[in-house]
Every structure is written in structure tokens, then in C-alpha cells.
Structure 1
Amino acid sequence: MVSYYVSTQPQSNGEHPVHRSGCEHLPDEPHRVFLGSFVDCHEAVKSAKRHFPYANGCAVCLQECHSG
């Protein structure tokens, strides 16, 4: 299982990116929320959308879960 985080700061398009642990774009500690460990990124993004409806997978570390 992999650890996932969501950025608490939206991007210019309003989305809150979800990152895999170790991503080069993972925000610093005060600007992210630990979502938990999941089998795949689809579950992580689903979890993030409970708190941030416009969550989306990071275009770098979660390409398979990035829409748009």
C-alpha cells in the first residue's frame, strides 16, 4: 500500500491535487493532509473528494488518476 496526501491549497483552476508519498510536487507539511494508505490512487482521490470536491490526481505522480 502507498501513502497519499492532498494539498490544502487549491491550484489556479480550483483543484486540490492528490500526491503519492515521495512526489517532487508534494507540498510542505502545513499545506497537505494525509489521506491514508490505499491500494491504488483511485481510492485516494475518492477519499480526498470527501473533503475537497475538486480533488484530482497529480499530473506527475498520479497520471493514471489525473483527469483534465
Structure 2
Amino acid sequence: MTDRIRFAVTGMHCNSCGLLIDDEVEELPGVTASTTSLRTGRTVVETDGHVTPADVVAAIATAGYAATVIP
């Protein structure tokens, strides 16, 4: 089963920012995919259910950006 978690991300300035976020998030064990859009300011993360939203927010922060979960 795949879980999908959505995040609002701030601080992005170009498409490369989204790639940096996706690279960092996809390093988390249990993340199967991460897709970030500069246009929408959103990141959608697909997981195997063993990753918490806090883990993803921390990974996005490591990449240099701020994120909040979209309910």
C-alpha cells in the first residue's frame, strides 16, 4: 500500500530547488517517490507507510527549505 503526503514548500526560486528537495526526500528509507513543483509550491511524497510527515519536513529543511503538511 502506498501513502501519499502533500506539503506546501516555501523558499524555492527555480526548478533546481525542486530537484534538490526531491533528491533529499528520496534518500529517506520508505519513500518511493517525491515530486516537487515550483509553480504550485508543493511537494507530493509517496511512501510505503513507514515515513512520518515530520521525517519529510526535516529532509526538506536539510535541503534548505521550509515545509508544512497539507491536510
TM superposition score category, shorter chain reference: 0.3 to 0.5
Higher helix share: 2
Higher strand share: 2
Q: TM-score, normalised by structure 1?
A: 0.34
Query: Which protein has greater RCO, CA pairs closer than 8 Å, 6+ apart?
Result: 2
Q: TM-score, normalised by structure 2?
A: 0.34
